[in-house]
Structure 1
Amino acid sequence: MAAVIGMVAFILVMIAVSTGAIITGVLQTNLTAQVSAAVNNVQVGATSTASDVLANGPFPDGTVLVLRSPSTGDTGAYIDGRSVRALDGPQVDEIRDAVADAVTTGMPDSDTVDLPGLGDYRIGFRAGQLGTVAVLGLPLSQVTATIGAILTTVALVTAGGLFLLAAIIALVIRVGLRPLRSVSETATRVASIRMDQGDVSIDERVPDEQVDDHTEIGQVGAALNSLLDRVDASLAARARNEEMMRRFVADASHELRTPLASIRGFSELSLRAMRQAQDDESRQRIEMAVETTEQSLERIQAQSLRMTTLVEDLLLLARLDEGQELVYGTVDLTRLAVEAVGDARPAGPDHAWSIDVDDEPVELAGDASRLNQVVANLLANARTHTPAGTEVTVAVAREDDEAVLRVHDDGPGIDPSVASQLFERFARADRSRDRKTGGTGLGLSIAKAIVEAHGGTIAVQSTPGDTTFEVRLPAKPRDPA
């Protein structure tokens, strides 16, 4: 506002000064013309005085006349209202000196003189017959008064215009910045929300009426709303991740607690048996202690292997999340499926295994050992969670630029309430499946992590009697014909 009003004020002042200078010049030019015309109209006789000429002629109020005549000498007079008054000696001398200077310096026949007691006058002189000289002057007070009135009017109009301009600018800025105030208020309310703990949700948004993509401030409001949407989504994702992490830690602790408790129990049993054998040196007691210790060590070894498998699976998931643990090469997915089915038949003799593949192998770029683990986990999942007599079919095909692996079984299916959580870590199969062995619940999550690390997807569709796990991976481009 200060910049705009200051610039407008400067422009208006310059206009006023220029206008005043132009009008002053015009008025002074007109006054000079009036003086010249008036002095030419002066009729001087041999015995005329300045008072006689002013009294007999039509001259405006304030006219000053000085006559020099051989018979009367220097006489001076001026019109004061309706009367003619004589000029005193200093006033006549001032006019005479001004005329003498003008004649000496070769100046034009008009000049400005300051008469004591009367003010500034524009004078003109003319030499007449018989050695007479007439000097006539008109007051500059009218020009000064006119210029003063003009400048006063311009000053008042300028001040009023600036005041009105300031009011309009203030109103326009206030209305224009209203959306920005709404943005500021929204940001202030968001800043007061505690985001360092608990389930945080940001519901504050800039009102829709303050969001306009056609204005810069409206775009700021839209950008803030978009930012708050992203932050709110990030906070929700963080809360979900924290909840998953808490559940993950609890599940991992539960999985590790059982083998650790078994190891501790069998260790204590072995120590107790050894102490009893030391106290009683009978052969039978020693043999019993050796047998107990051997069985305990076998159980300890089994539980240690279980913990090792669990830790290795967790480490694999962590490395896959970091983009590590993959060694790329050309992988024949058809061959992997055939070999996996061949390994599954001895492990699940009570299931019917079949394979459906094309004659042309389906190849892709990936880690063969990890992709083999995906197929093995899917087959183990089908074998473990379906009853005896279930038919499991593995199909491999190429669809456009994707290699597709499908594992289908006609078992009881998956409960829809847990289907969405099936690929989470430590997820358990639904109750409709008979889980014969207690796995860690990491098999499908590992399969998903490996598939996604290869840029693919894994999904499941299940109804009673029809369950299909589908893996889609980027296929290797076909060789040009």
Structure 2
Amino acid sequence: MKPRFRGGLRRRLVLGIAVVATAAVLAAEVVGFLVLRSWLMDSLDDQLTHFRTHTKAYGDAASEQGFPSRFTTPGALPSDFRIYFYDSDGHLLSASLGDPEPSEPDLSSSADSLGLTAGRPTTVSATSGGGHWRVILRDGPDGMKSVVALPMDTVDGATSKILLVDGVLLALTLACVVLLGRWVVRLGLLPLTRMERTAEDITDGNLDLRLADTDERTETGRLGRVLNTMLERLQGALRERETSEARLRRFVADAGHELRTPLTTIQGFAELALRHEQQSAAGRREANRLIAQNAARMSLLVDDLHLLAQLDQEPAYRREPVDLLALAADAVSAAALGSPGRPIDLVPLAEGAEELELVETVGDPHRLRQVIDNLLSNARTHTPQGTPVHVRVGTGLAGPDVGGRTSASPPLPYGTPVGVLEIADEGPGLAPEDAQRVFERFYRADRSRSRSRAEGGSGLGLAIAAAIAQGHGGRLELDTAAGKGCTFRLVLPQRP
């Protein structure tokens, strides 16, 4: 089970820092204590190891000659050495060497019971006072033995003091770490505090606020950058949703408005025909003609709306090789027959080229032909009678948009081989504000481009053409300027 920590992030960080610092200081103190004690013990053992008892001392101890008392006078041996002698039978002799002290090592009266190994220093307890002695067993002449001893008061005193100092230092370190750690953690988490306040302001409705700390070199900066990106996308999604809802409301309103006009006309003339039974035959024929005309217009509008609904649902287009040049030639022939008084020609896309270029792509030939017919119809409808229309077909590479080019679809990747079909007229052109909205549904440009409302269309043709182009992986573009005509460009990826 994972441990559960109570408290905020600051408290957990301070606690973690305190634990780590305490462990580090404690480990350093333990290592220092062990190193110091080991060094003191090694120094003490070195003194014991290098101390040599004179052979004459063994004989004097055995005969108790030269020992006016049990202990010699102070200063007879260097430092605090004590020497105890055992005879050849292993009994402790009463004679010993060393300065008188209130305590002495607790040694057995028999050499066999000492439990010491010759030449190896060993620690034993003192007879009184709770101290310790460091002793070493030596072999003497004639089977005698001696025990050389040094008190461990220096070692015990030094270690006791170092333990006291270490304890005080540990307490001070812990207190300083907690106090300074709180300040450092508070300072380090200050960017998070600012983020928290900014997030609260954003939650209160100020969606334009952004996090100020976006330094890539810090974790909080990278977090701030990611959060800013997320906020931008969320705000963009909200704006897109609002725009989509507004567009939907406008679409429904425009559709209702477009349908209301023919429905009102049909209803009015139908009521007129029912109320005036004595109306002349010519009047009834005119009323029926208008009823049929508006019914056809309403039927065409409903068909366009149904087609747009199908295109919005990502329809499955046929995937087969399509020759854009052949489609353009058929469309130009049909348009020329339908408008005998309007010059329409088919020319190469590249300037100065003399021969038409075969352009192949993959898609639905029926839908692509619908786009071409739609663009030709748009050119005939929105330009004065007799205005020339040029259809150009060729290939190229997708590149950056140039000035004046607009489209409702995203651009193709740079360098993509594309097939291009242009339909250019020499009409009055479009103003920049009209060009930006020409692909919107139910949008009509300035009435100067339409001879009448009836001939101006429903405003769905270009939206349908753009949707079909985008469904084929391409886009429909517009280059125009007031007084310089319009050039609609169908750009499609070439057949691989």
Q: Could you say whether these structures have the same fold, taking a TM-score greater than 0.5 normalized by the shorter chain as the test?
A: yes
Structure 2 CA distance for aligned equivalents of residues 102 and 141 of structure 1: 27
Question: Relative to 1, partners in 2 of residues 1:139 and 1:40: Cα closer, same or farther, differing over 3 Å?
Answer: farther
Structure 2 CA distance for aligned equivalents of residues 420 and 432 of structure 1: 17
2:351 counterpart of 1:364: no
* Residue 53 of structure 1: aligned partner: 72
The TM-score normalised by the length of structure 2 is 0.71
Structure 2 CA distance for aligned equivalents of residues 31 and 160 of structure 1: 38
Structure 2 CA distance for aligned equivalents of residues 193 and 416 of structure 1: 39
* Residue 419 of structure 2: aligned partner: 403
Partner of 2:485, secondary structure, is: strand
Summarize deviations over 1:49-84 as a string: whole Å, max 9, x none.
Answer: 4366235836767x8788999xxx9589996xxxx6
Structure 1 CA distance for aligned equivalents of residues 362 and 136 of structure 2: 111
2:42 counterpart of 1:26: yes
* Residue 280 of structure 1: aligned partner: none
From 422, 425, 436, the equivalent of 2:441 is 425
- 1:427-446 aligned at under 5 Å gives the runs 427-438=443-454, 439-446=457-464
Question: Relative to 1, partners in 2 of residues 1:53 and 1:323: Cα closer, same or farther, differing over 3 Å?
Answer: same
The TM-score normalised by the length of structure 1 is 0.73
From 377, 380, 383, the equivalent of 2:377 is 380
From 27, 33, 43, the equivalent of 1:11 is 27
Structure 1 CA distance for aligned equivalents of residues 161 and 233 of structure 2: 66
* Residue 390 of structure 1: aligned partner: 387
From 220, 223, 235, the equivalent of 2:223 is 220
2:415 counterpart of 1:415: no
From 200, 206, 210, the equivalent of 1:205 is 210
* Residue 466 of structure 1: aligned partner: 484
2:149 counterpart of 1:152: no
Structure 1 CA distance for aligned equivalents of residues 465 and 226 of structure 2: 39
How many residue pairs get aligned? The number is 443
Letter in 1 for 2:491: L
RMSD of the alignment, in Å? 4.5
Report the Cα offset of residue 441 of structure 1. 0.7
Structure 1 CA distance for aligned equivalents of residues 145 and 391 of structure 2: 135
Mark the runs of 5 or more structure 1 residues left unpaired by the alignment.
Answer: 195-200, 274-284
From 461, 465, 486, the equivalent of 1:447 is 465
Report the Cα offset of residue 138 of structure 1. 4.6
2:329 counterpart of 1:338: yes
2:308 counterpart of 1:311: no
* Residue 320 of structure 2: aligned partner: 329
Structure 2 CA distance for aligned equivalents of residues 441 and 187 of structure 1: 44
Partner of 1:472, secondary structure, is: strand
Question: Relative to 1, partners in 2 of residues 1:309 and 1:10: Cα closer, same or farther, differing over 3 Å?
Answer: farther
Partner of 1:149, secondary structure, is: helix
From 232, 246, 251, the equivalent of 1:248 is 251
Report the Cα offset of residue 251 of structure 1. 0.9
Question: Relative to 1, partners in 2 of residues 1:117 and 1:77: Cα closer, same or farther, differing over 3 Å?
Answer: farther
Structure 2 CA distance for aligned equivalents of residues 442 and 290 of structure 1: 37
Structure 2 CA distance for aligned equivalents of residues 475 and 47 of structure 1: 121
1:341–1:353 CA contact under 8 A, matched in 2: yes
* Residue 197 of structure 1: aligned partner: none
Letter in 2 for 1:455: G
Structure 1 CA distance for aligned equivalents of residues 229 and 316 of structure 2: 37
Report the Cα offset of residue 13 of structure 1. 4.6
Summarize deviations over 1:33-57 as a string: whole Å, max 9, x none.
Answer: 5986699879765484436623583
1:413–1:467 CA contact under 8 A, matched in 2: yes
Summarize deviations over 1:415-470 as a string: whole Å, max 9, x none.
Answer: 23211111111110214323324321111111211222222232223345431323
Q: Percentage identity across aligned positions?
A: 31
Report the Cα offset of residue 253 of structure 1. 1.5
Report the Cα offset of residue 380 of structure 1. 1.9
Letter in 2 for 1:238: R
Question: Relative to 1, partners in 2 of residues 1:265 and 1:99: Cα closer, same or farther, differing over 3 Å?
Answer: farther
Summarize deviations over 1:342-364 as a string: whole Å, max 9, x none.
Answer: 33345445534344354454343
Mark the runs of 5 or more structure 2 residues left unpaired by the alignment.
Answer: 1-16, 88-92, 349-354, 398-416
* Residue 234 of structure 2: aligned partner: 231
2:127 counterpart of 1:115: yes
Question: Relative to 1, partners in 2 of residues 1:40 and 1:46: Cα closer, same or farther, differing over 3 Å?
Answer: closer
Q: Which structure has the larger Rg? A: 1
